[in-house]
Structure 1
Amino acid sequence: MITVDNLSFSFPQKDLYNNISFTLEEGQHCAFIGTSGSGKSTLIDILMDPERYLYDGKLEIDPEYRIGYVSQFLQDDQAKEMTVFEFIAEEFIKIQDEITSIYDEMATTSDMDSLMEKVQLALDAFESMDGDNFENNINKQLNLANLMKLKDLNISSLSGGEFKLIQVMKEMLHRPDLMIMDEPDVFLDFENLNALKKLINSHKGMLLVVTHNRYLLNHCFNKIIHLEDTEIQEFDGRYIDYNFLLLQTKVELQEIAVAEEEEIKRNENIVINLREIATNDSEASRGRALKARVRFTERLEARRIKAPFVDIKQPNIHFDVDHEPEDIPVVHVNNYSVAFDELLLDNVSFEMKATDKVAIIGANGTGKTTLLREVFKNNHASIEINADVKVAYLSQVQGEMLKDSNTILDEFIDAGFNTYDEIRSYLSNYGFEGEILNQKIESLSGGEKNMLQLAKVAASKANVLLLDEPTSHLDIYTQIALEKAIAEYKGAILMISHDFYSVVNGMDYVVIIEDKKIRKMGIEEFREMIYESHFNKDYLETEQKKKAVEMKIELALKDTNFELAKGLVNELEEVIKLL
């Protein structure tokens, strides 16, 4: 078991944790969630190397524990000249070679004691990783992820998503006592995301995974650790059950809050009346009654239930346009082809109208980002943009659109804002307030950088948005706010996304890249195709019913109809049991 007990830690400009406690136990697959910038990656760093940090509280980890780690960022290892199999087997081969070398040395030396100790340590390490079966285990993992075709390819030829999966396999096959992964799903296409799901679910050891991916959250974990506003909440169970508990608690708290608000108002009226009486009547008992009522009202205010995990504030993302769009084509792609080492897209054509919301779907490395970037640049002979169109672009390569050496305030002066006060007011809608506005872009988390890109896109008031993986690194609450902004937007959107929920909740249709060609597909057909591949029809219908009941609960809460809301919560509980 790993135990964190009353841990507190701060940076000079920000408190991250205030007496947080949680445990990780053998066999648990734990999702680590929380809003962007809340300190998830820093807490992982503390777990991995506690000696680097000055924190209060206790952190209990067996010093002999081996911790495996997969970063949210691609590693330089991909530049190595080796095959996929050699990369995964690297540590096994290294220990094998070490054992062989020691045995060779034994044949020529009389100092056997030290060599016996060295060879035993190497043999123990090899055995703890099931080294005798490493080739068979690597083949099993590659088959599980449907990546056996990559086994003999050089790792430098892999897409980013394929290499991320290979990194996950490599760490898992080392059999660490604790496996930590920081947003391993970022930029994975849906097939690779499903492969990651299989790898997570087949892993026998303890897992701690930072993720905002709702697909993984709903299908991979049996424990949730939720970090918000310096506090932590633990939940043993599925994410879907945790969400239900939050919604159930929200209904209860809102009912209590309304009742307390009424009680506070009633007492305030009594205090006002007592003050009027005390003004005209100097009798001491009147003054004492007034003081007692004031104290009672203060106690009511003080004991209002604060629930930072129940009703987290979503950013106010809003995409606007300068003028209502006409129903005309805005983007026209005609016989577009692109090749690097090989042909990626071959004479593809499609057209977008002024209010179309379109997702580009395809495997990693099929040319999606190149196509979107070419549309943004608008200097390719096969791409035509309507002359009246204003285009805004969000890049998955955040350095393309944000300058690391800028502060947040400087970045938005460069974007056309006139004063720092104007920027402060605008960015408060996106959760950026206080000292963070003076931080340099390079110091921000991936989610915060993507949020800034969204803020810049929104400020442009463009009528065509080109969004390349806009949900990457974003927390769940921001993803939902983005979906709402997309639904309300009056212009056109061309979006690359591997986030299933963002596509089906916000897009009109998808264009799928397969075999170097593009084909159009409606959202319902796309939804059914995904579920047919990975779930079943009943699951799809049940999930849609769940969403419908949740929307009814939200409406009932808006109307403060708590009896109806509580009845719907019971209905929702029965639906969730079917998932």
Structure 2
Amino acid sequence: MIKVDNLSFSFPQKELFNNISFTLEEAQHCAFIGTSGSGKSTLIDILMDPERYLFDGKLEMDPDCTIGYVSQFSELDNTKETTVFEYIGEPFIKLQNEIQSICTEMETSTDIEPLLEKYQFALDALDAIGGDDFESNIHKQLNVANLMKRRDSKVADLSGGEFKLIQVMKEMLNRPDILIMDEPDVFLDFENLNALKKLIHSYKGILLVVTHNRYLLNHCFNKIIHLENREIQEFDGRYIEYNFSLLQTKMELQELAVAEQEEMERNDTIINNLRVIATYNSDASRGRALKARVRFQERLEARRIKAPFVEIKQPNISFGVDNEMEDAIVVSVHHYSVGFDELLLDNVNFEIKSTDKVAIIGANGTGKTTLLRDIFKNNHASIEINADVKVAYLSQLQGEMLKDANTILEEFIDAGFKTYDEIGLYLFNYGFEGETLSQKIESLSGGEKNLLQLAKVSASKANVLLLDEPTSHLDTYTQLALEKAIEKFKGAILMVSHDFYSVVNGMDYVLIIDDKTIRKMTLPKFRQMIYDSHFDKDYLETEQKKKSVEMKIELALKNTDFELAKGLVEELEELIKWL
């Protein structure tokens, strides 16, 4: 359906793609992955409107091919009085009204020929999107997403997650040849994320989905396209199999690298010996032997294995603390209530200690962000912050903490850095360097903006971190780096998150929003609750075994024990087959 052949494209300050090639074919559900800022959204723009871009290479597409699109930044129009059914069914209803209007006109017209032509054209358009069954199709989609109860609700009354799901439904029901979705999972709670998974599985057409969500990646796709370091890698299979393939490649490359290093060290010894001999023996044959050995060493250096998809540089996220506190209460919430048109939270009570790492879990629209923002502002009578606490806040509304008109450099001068050199040295750890420091915030990807927020939080040296959806838009490598930083942090964290993996890998316990109040739940109980609801009975145990084997393989590779690693890889392969 789509074939990209040796495509190259650059912005003035950045080369994005260099001779990339891939295909999208019938029935493929493809995950499009890559680090933040690697050019995924730009490549999507090129696929959707190639005439806007000057690129080298070929883009082959059926001229009749239709493309549907769900943006990562779609906003809810609160002025709309449209119901959910009317919103999803808009293209069907519009065509039905057009057909009815043509029929009415035909009753009185003397020139019926052009009207018959318009009538047939409208009928064909309606048939192309399944018009005869459009009402039952909408009901099927609403039932898949467990949103049938919202059928007659106003669009303006939906939560952000619910609105995202009905956008997905609307595009799917239009039946485009290819449906492209750019991070449709951002900010979805776990129930809505599971609904999105079901919608993806129910879709029969070609899907290209930009996502960093590990739950969707592990359960929804049969093809992976990976964009990294200006190159593309295609993999026909599931994400879990792709990661296994990368691990095998990493092991092979590391074994080759160790052998090459040993060869180079032997060659170095020979070169050094020849140089020593050359100092007291000027025989021409000795000089030629030395030059030959040096050239051989240069060739060894030149052919060192390069693997852009195996060893991807993670940002070095680190949350330092100026003022470590001993076992003390840092945040107290007592009898907290909040609401707007209706009560969201009522009589909420909890306390956070100085080293607690806690996730607030709840459905979209239940008041989590409002609570976190009230704690940050510290102007609510029901909230008390310890006097020795310094708080840093990461907002899911990126414009709240970053000024779009600022350059990256200006943003960090505003944050208290003294010189541009100091900023450059600091942000190098986060993957920002060179000319990128002069880019305006508004030109960055969603992932890059969130990474900058994390850099600002880290620079604050605060001992209490309030993180609202910190993994949103972050690529999987940065998510893992964030998990490591959270694990090492010596202060307290209160985090709103719908990312299951970040919660279970980094938190001590969770605060569950239930019936407008909050109750504490241990991490094992939360993990079991999620697995009982959404996975097979033995999935949790098998996934834990998989993680254990992966850690053993990592240790074996660190110790260059390749025989042990190969045996463990066979064990890992069996677990992956089961999963």
- Name the TM tier (shorter chain): over 0.9
Deviations 1:102-155 (A, max 9, x none): 222233334333333322221111111111000000001101100011110000
Q: Does 1:18 align with 2:21?
A: no
Name the residue aligned to 2:495.
Answer: 495
Q: Which moved more, 1:269-278 or 1:527-536?
A: 269-278
Match of 2:147 in 1: 147
8 Å CA contact 2:185–2:213 kept in 1: the answer is yes
**Contact in 2 for aligned 1:79/1:155 (Cα 8 Å):** no
Report the CA distance between 1:566 and its aligned residue: 1.4
CA distance in 1 between counterparts of 2:276 and 2:201 reads 68
Deviates more, 1:114-123 or 1:552-561: 114-123
**Structure 1 residues 110 and 285, CA, compared in 2 at 3 Å: closer, same or farther?**
farther
Query: Shift in Å at residue 9 of structure 1?
Result: 0.3
Range with bigger deviation, 60-69 or 461-470: 60-69
In the alignment, structure 1 residue 174 sits paired with structure 2 residue 181: no
**Residues 70, 167 of structure 2: 8 Å contact kept:** yes
Tell me the distance in 2 between the aligned counterparts of 1:77 and 1:225. Answer: 33
Please give the alpha-carbon distance, in whole angstroms, between the structure 1 residues aligned to 2:148 and 2:96.
24
| Counterparts of 1:325 and 1:505, CA distance in 2 | 24
Aligned match of 1:557 = 557
Equivalents in 1 of 2:189, 2:534: separation in Å? 14
Which whole-Å CA distance do the structure 2 matches of 1:480 and 1:392 have between them? Answer: 21
**Which shows bigger deviation, 67-76 or 278-287?**
278-287
Q: 1:78 to 1:247 in 2, by over 3 A?
A: farther
Q: Which moves more between the two structures, 157-166 or 96-105?
A: 96-105
- Alpha-carbon distance in 2 for matches of 1:403, 1:348: 33
The alignment status of 1:461 with 2:461, answered yes or no, reads yes
Instruction: For residues 32-83 of structure 1, give each alpha carbon's deviation from its aligned partner in whole angstroms, at most 9, with x where no partner exists.
Output: 0000000000000000000000000110111111111000012354532200
Deviation at 1:306, TM superposition (A): 0.4
Partner of 1:62: 62
Q: Within 1, Cα distance between the matches of 2:577 and 2:313?
A: 28
| 1:530-569 equivalent positions in 2, closer than 5 A | 530-569=530-569
Aligned to 2:106: 106
Report if the CA contact (8 A) 1:78-1:163 is conserved. no
CA distance in 2 between counterparts of 1:357 and 1:436 reads 33
Deviation, structure 1 residue 323: 3.1
Separation in structure 2 between the aligned mates of residue 297 and residue 114 of structure 1, nearest angstrom: 79
Q: In 2, distance between residues paired with 1:515 and 1:499?
A: 22
Provide, for residues 210-262 of structure 1, a one-character-per-residue CA deviation record: whole Å limited to 9, x for no partner. Answer: 00000000000000000001000000000000000111111111111111111
C-alpha displacement of 1:330: 0.5
Deviations 1:241-288 (A, max 9, x none): 000011111111111111111111211221222223233333222222
How do 1:2-401 and structure 2 match up within 5 A?
A: 2-77=2-77, 79-401=79-401
Match of 2:470 in 1: 470
| 2:76 and 2:160 in contact (8 A); partners too | no
Unmatched tracts of structure 1, length 5 or more = none
What is the alpha-carbon distance in structure 2 between the residues aligned to residue 114 and residue 545 of structure 1?
Answer: 69
TM-score, normalised relative to structure 1: 0.99
1:560 alignment partner AA: T
Percent identity of the aligned residues?
Answer: 79
Tell me by how many angstroms 1:567 deviates: 1.3
Answer yes or no: is the 8 Å Cα contact 2:76–2:163 preserved in 1: no
Alpha-carbon separation, structure 2, partners of 1:561 and 1:111: 85
The more displaced of 70-79 and 327-336 is 70-79
Q: 1:486 corresponds to which residue?
A: 486
Per the alignment, in what secondary structure is the counterpart of residue 537 of structure 1? coil
Structure 2 residue identity aligned to 1:75: E
Deviation at 1:503, TM superposition (A): 0.2
Unaligned runs of 5+ in 2: none
Asked whether the equivalents of residues 336 and 347 of structure 1 are also in contact (C-alpha less than 8 Å), the reply is yes
Between the aligned partners of 2:375 and 2:397, the Cα distance in structure 1 is: 16
Aligned residue type for 1:540: L
Secondary structure of 2:308's partner?
coil
Deviation at 1:186, TM superposition (A): 0.2
C-alpha deviation, 1:303, in angstroms:
1.1
Q: What is the CA deviation profile of residues 483-523 of structure 1, one whole-angstrom value per residue up to 9, with x for unaligned ones?
A: 01001101000000000000000000000001101111011
- 3-state SS of paired residue (1:430): coil
In 1: Cα distance, 2:515 partner to 2:346 partner:
9
By how many angstroms is 1:570 displaced? 1.1
Q: Would the aligned equivalents of 2:155 and 2:163 in 1 still touch at CA under 8 Å? A: yes
- Paired with 2:284 and 2:131, the residues of 1 have a C-alpha distance of 86
Q: Which segments of structure 1 move beyond 4 Å, counting only runs of 4 or more? A: none
Q: Is the 8 A contact 1:528 1:537 kept in 2?
A: no
> Matches of 1:151 and 1:51 in 2, distance apart?
39
2:422 matches 1:412: no
